[in-house]
Structure 1
Amino acid sequence: MVLATVLGWSIFKVAARRWGEETADLPMTLDSPVDPEVDHIRGPEDARLTLVEFVDFECPYCAHATGSWEDLHGRFGDDLRYVVRHLPHHPHGPFAARAAEAAAKQEMFWPWLDFVFTRQHARRVRPGHRHPDPCCSHAHRYQGMGVSPGSPSPRRR
């Protein structure tokens, strides 16, 4: 265990020197700035702090982290702008992201996010059910909104 820690530290130290990274500071600016036309935003546009979360609607870790908006807003108030971007990586994640964009077209993105993340337990496959994902079983409802299981994924950053 100690050997693995020392070896890992050494590799990262050598790599940092080789590529000119001399500090351990995290990036302070986004490569792609927040875009109100594409991103989903809670909080004031001129907030002092911006938190960008990349979500997959099928990811239990995303569901756990996303539930903390109320806590963060309670702590930071209007000093915080919360931004959500899609990064689907689970099997039904891309379709759920497209459904979220359809909800956004109806000004319902945040209720959709809350609905999906608070009901992940209901998505489990049960014997005799064709679709494990509730949004897949109602795919016909998304016709005309540019959302279908085969349509391209939403814009990801």
Structure 2
Amino acid sequence: MSEHDIHIRLNDLGITLPITTAPAAAYVMSAQSSNLVYLSGHIAKKDGKVWAGKLGDTLSTEDGYAAARATAIDLLATLYAHLGDLNRVVRIVKVMSLVNSTPSFTEQHLVTNGASELFAEVFGNRGKHARSAFGVAQIPLGACVEIEMTVEVS
């Protein structure tokens, strides 16, 4: 798949990669070791601002799914900024999702599908990955979702 093709695919999905931003604390947004790229946790944003809220309280599973999808798009923007060519992606290896949720909320896996399904839509089989989804008491800045991932590249 050429760079042109991946941009056509993103366009077909209605996705425009946002401009990447600097980290909010003492870390880098991506780090590469050998053929693995580790992307730092990205928090959910909506209209350029932190997408705050708690699943099972102020947000529904559907809201969380949309937040995870938006976070996945931000992760792709960071990956593109790191690689310069998304066709270098051999596969998305691992995704870890933190979902700001009440103790009784048990649909973290359905929230995280917002990211997982997007990666599969964009990369096909290369986007299918191992995954963990956790419910947590809080995420920085009150964000509803934070996702990090590991990507194998050529």
TM class, shorter-chain normalised? under 0.3
Q: Which of the two has greater helix per residue?
A: 1
Question: Could you tell me the TM-score, scaled by structure 2's length?
Answer: 0.26
Structure showing greater Rg:
1
Higher relative contact order (CA 8 A, sep 6+): 2
- TM, length-normalised to structure 1: 0.25
